[in-house]
Structure 1
Amino acid sequence: MNKDITIIGVPLDLGAGRRGVDMGPSAIRYANVKDRLEKSGYHVLDLGNLNVPTPETYKIENQKLKYLKEVTAINKILAEQVSKIMQKGRFPLVLGGDHSIAIGTIAGVSKHKKNLGVIWFDAHGDINTPETSPSGNIHGMPLAVSLGEGHPDLTQILNFSPKIKSENIVLIGARDLDKGERNFIKERGIRVYTMHEIDRLGMAQVVEEAIYYVTKNTDGVHLSLDLDGLDPNDAPGVGTPVTGGITYREGHLAMEMIAEANILISAEFVEVNPILDERNKTAHIAVGLMASALGEKLL
């Protein structure tokens, strides 16, 4: 595992439907993410937060693509920053913010990889397009955008598209998919482990299969973890909670197995909303999951 980590915070909530997730990076830092990773032997450089506008300063111009210009601008900056981190041989760790920031993270990483694999933990598919999205919130579109589907302002960030291939993606923890997303997943043949598979097979088998699948034809793996993938009893501080999710222990097991496989080249942890949280519980869980994914051991 790369021992040189660079942290970037992206306090963006323009892609989401509820306020508060812009404070996620601060909540995660308050939960001592830097100290926790340094105790595991990492050399951590925190670049601080990107400068992100607040919704009060802008108007929604397109109900099917809310705050398109602003979300695009932030993701372009993020993509460039992540690309620079990759160029320096460091591990980019991005703190969200809503999940639309995955557009920029994946763009920046995939610029340096021909066949990037992606493990995506989420209650939702995040694979809507403007035509299928019931809300117009861009945080429900980043996987589709990364696959080259969506508005060209988003898909053409860093001037290439697609960023990833359908056969190099695994989605884990899904339990709330829109009709258009279900059709997209079937048409593209995307590997999805819903909560049904996790309950039936167990998290260990799901992650073993996912690691095998996502490393077959790839040259690196990116981890994108939405905290709403966990059950809201364990992670209450998220904007779009869905009951019946991954347990705290299942989440750690998954991260520990990913760490043992030594496949990650980048990661992002998103959708921590401290306004909806209980004494920063969700941010502390996010930090614990980061530490497990990066190899922290009890003994």
Structure 2
Amino acid sequence: MTRTEPPAWEGTSSDPNDEQFGHVVSPTDIEDAGDYRAVLVGEPYDGAVIGRRGAREGPAAIRRALAGVKTHHFDEGPVAGVADLGDLPIEAYNDGDDPANHVADVQAIVADEAAAVYERGALPVFLGGDNSLTVGNVTPLLGGGDSVGVVSFDAHLDCRDPADGPTSGTPYRQLFDAGLDRLAVVGARHFETSTAYTDFLRDAGGTSLTADEVGRGPVETADFALDAVAACDRVFVSLDVDVLDQNGR
């Protein structure tokens, strides 16, 4: 399938010494993805959202915000070797008549496209989009000889039963059914999940760290996440924006 062309990345600073992501991110084709340290892949879709929609705007918003960020890292030096593969051709599915049908279709498309990126040895950074897309992003890693773990920064467990079709709340139940080995949820909130899903996560070999526990410090949080997936050969990291403190602290 044909991806959309990556947008023009433009820095926002008039200072010629301010190198920004807008200056160093290179549009590229899938065939050259392996030549870069990381590649961005846009996934403009929110047709699986249970509640408020709008995540389809995520890829464009992330690119706009990132374009003006400076590239210097004090330990590693300036960022280099980042490419943009454009957006996957899934935006048209946002307004389908029957979400229960088109969510599965989108997950299959994303899985095929993600597999093509992995096959070229590239490190993808998927820009979503709702959390149903995680199924397509992780599925190509499953079924081989490597064990796979996910670290999910999320206020919710997203382990609902997809009996009536997949949604943004079912990705990890789907992935466990497909062979996922470990799941560590970081930032889960009290009173925003059900006991049945907490029990499922525990029985499936997963674990969680509540938002209160995350507040104890970044070192403890990182240790928890790394320990949870330490035995896995491959690790996928997912960030759901609702993990952020709603009060802005």
Highest CA radius of gyration, 1 or 2?
A: 2
| Cα gap change, 1:23 to 1:129, in 2 (>3 Å) | same
Residue 184 of structure 2 corresponds to which residue in structure 1?
170
CA distance in 2, matches of 1:233, 1:112: 42
| Cα gap change, 1:73 to 1:116, in 2 (>3 Å) | same
Aligned residues of 1:128 and 1:180 also touching (Cα < 8 A): no
CA distance in 2, matches of 1:95, 1:68: 23
Of structures 1 and 2, the one with the larger relative CO (CA 8 A, separation 6+) is: 1
| Cα gap change, 1:230 to 1:112, in 2 (>3 Å) | farther
CA distance in 2, matches of 1:178, 1:33: 39
Q: 2:193 is matched by which residue type in structure 1? A: L
Residue 39 of structure 2 corresponds to which residue in structure 1?
6
Q: CA deviation at 1:34?
A: 9.2
| Cα gap change, 1:7 to 1:106, in 2 (>3 Å) | same
Residue 117 of structure 2 corresponds to which residue in structure 1?
85
Q: 2:64 is matched by which residue type in structure 1? A: Y
Single out whichever of 103-112 and 29-38 deviates more from structure 2: 29-38
Q: CA deviation at 1:212?
A: 2.2
Residue 127 of structure 2 corresponds to which residue in structure 1?
95
Specify which of 54, 69, 81 is matched with residue 20 of structure 1.
Answer: 54
Residue 169 of structure 2 corresponds to which residue in structure 1?
140
Q: CA deviation at 1:29?
A: 0.8
Aligned residues of 2:146 and 2:234 also touching (Cα < 8 A): no
Q: Could you list the runs of 4 or more consecutive aligned residues of structure 1 that deviate by over 4 angstroms after TM superposition?
A: 33-39
Aligned residues of 2:41 and 2:86 also touching (Cα < 8 A): yes
How many residue pairs are counted as aligned between the two chains? Answer: 207
Residue 73 of structure 1 corresponds to which residue in structure 2?
105
TM-score, reference length from structure 2? 0.74
What percentage of residue pairs aligned between the two structures are identical? 29
| Cα gap change, 1:77 to 1:40, in 2 (>3 Å) | farther
Residue 266 of structure 1 corresponds to which residue in structure 2?
none
| Cα gap change, 1:115 to 1:129, in 2 (>3 Å) | same
TM-score, reference length from structure 1? 0.62
Task: Provide structure 2 residue ranges, at least 5 long, that are not aligned to the other structure.
Answer: 1-34
CA distance in 2, matches of 1:44, 1:197: 34
Residue 220 of structure 1 corresponds to which residue in structure 2?
234
Aligned Cα root-mean-square deviation (Å): 2.6
Counterparts of residues 220-259 of structure 1 (less than 5 Å): 220-234=234-248
Give SS of 2:232's match: coil
Instruction: Note if 1:41 corresponds to 2:75.
Output: no
